[in-house]
Amino acid sequence: MAATRAPWIHSAPSPTLEAERSSVHVPSRLFLKPRRKALVLAFVRAGGTGGDGSLLNSTGSSIDLNRSSLDSSSEFASKDPSTLPRPLSRVDLSGGGNGSRLRVAYQGLPGAYSESAAAKAYPNCEAVPCSTFENAFEAVEKWNVDRAVLPIENSLGGSIHRNYDLLLRHKLHIVGEVKYAVCHCLLANHGVKLEQLQRVLSHPQALAQCEHTLAKLGVVRENVDDTAGAAKFIADNKLEDAGAVASSLAAELYGLNILARDIQDDSDNITRFLMLAREPIIPGTEKPFKTSIVFSLEEGPGVLFKALAVFAMRDINLSKIESRPQQNRLLRGAEYDGKYGSNCFDYLFYVDFESSMASSVAQNALKHLKEFATFLRVLGSYPMDTSQA
């Protein structure tokens, strides 16, 4: 049965930048490019309830815009609205939607920094430990928990690339962010002196963030899966020659002594966490919002410059850009005959920009980007964390 053409879709050229600036009307239509009859990104507000950080059709379901879906002859298939995600309200985001206590997944054991970040994001939540980042994503998808709070970047250690890859692999929505100040402590069993330590266990990033302190001690550094796990291992095995880099909460939970506090090399040690949910949040314009997207481009001179220019020409600030090689893609080389270099990777670009998808300026920027992007997905449009870490 052929798909019925949605009534708000019509063929029209993309508006010029001057037209965008002079217009005060927020578009509620999806435009088609006449050349390819491909969907171009827009934001749909249906029934007065608004859209989300992802692209929405009239029923509220998210649309991933890739080349295969754009070139399809059918534009939309009818879906039952009752089976689609319900966009979250601002009350839902804070965890007080129906008075129930939210279950929030984090990676690590009790006492991990991620547990503290989850408590900051959702006060009074029930924090649920997961052994891996992927387990946390799956826990939300399988309805075992309501949310997940996972790290995405650290001011000293940089990006957590694994979670960028998992954002693309899974269909969760970013509904918020929280910044958490990390204060590393050197822990050991009671009675163990600092000069007795021969090795120190912790997560690789935690060890790297305390490089100077540990170098002065002359200890061997041993990597483990998470900081709280290191503390638990020291306590369970009653080690007298080893310490752990972990939080003061981990010391309290596992009965360890704090030999030294704030041992990180830089006191400005902030980790940014993403709040993830099955449903998107309804974006607004009454407070600062951030939008996260991922896209890919054809290879060629100046293509990335043109992609980023769609934001610059509309005075939209980019707060982060991260490139990741596309997985399961072979190295390119022979087919280009050296025109753009040999053995090139296919890249995905993750971008955070400071604007809400409720804004017509953001909508038009992504519609412009879609004219030459081969793939585009909105990961979320959510309130910025403007508080102190």
Structural contact between residues 154 and 181, judged by C-beta atoms closer than 8 angstroms: no
Contact 178, 385 (CB under 8 A): yes
Catalytic residue among 76, 271, 291, 295: 271
Q: Is 271 a catalytic residue?
A: yes
* pLDDT tens sequence across 205-233: 999 999 999 999 999 999 998 999 999 99
Check residues 67 and 224 and name the one with the higher pLDDT.
Answer: 224
Q: Model confidence at 6, in pLDDT bands (50, 70, 90)? A: very low
Q: Hey, is 268 helix, strand or coil?
A: coil
| Average pLDDT of the residues in 128-138 | 96
Average pLDDT, the chain: 79
* Section 104-109 average pLDDT: 96
- Mean pLDDT: which of 11-25, 64-78, 127-141, 335-349 is highest? 127-141
In whole angstroms, what is the distance from residue 285 CA to residue 293 CA? 18
Catalytic residue among 31, 43, 76, 273: 273
What is the pairing mode between strands 185-188 and 242-246? antiparallel
Q: Of the given ranges (52-56, 215-219, 351-355, 374-378), which has the lowest mean pLDDT?
A: 52-56
Rounded to an integer, the average pLDDT of 249-260 is: 97
pLDDT band at 346 (very low <50, low <70, confident <90, very high): confident
- Which pLDDT does position 389 carry in this prediction? 73
Give the predicted TM-score (pTM) of the model: 0.75
- pLDDT in the model for residue 343: 47
- Range name among 81-95, 105-119, 201-215, 345-359 with the lowest pLDDT average: 81-95
- Mean pLDDT, residues 53-74: 35
Contact 147, 140 (CB under 8 A): yes
Q: Give me 316's structure tokens.
A: 């939209």
Structure tokens at 56: 């929405």
Question: Is residue 345 annotated as part of the catalytic site, yes or no?
Answer: no
**Mean pLDDT value across residues 341-354:** 80
Q: Mean pLDDT, to the nearest integer, of 132-136?
A: 96
d(CA 46, CA 27): 12
Task: Write a three-state SS string for 195-264.
Answer: HHCCEEEECHHHHHHCHHHHHHHCCEEEECCCHHHHHHHHHHCCCCCEEEEECHHHHHHHCCEEEEECCC
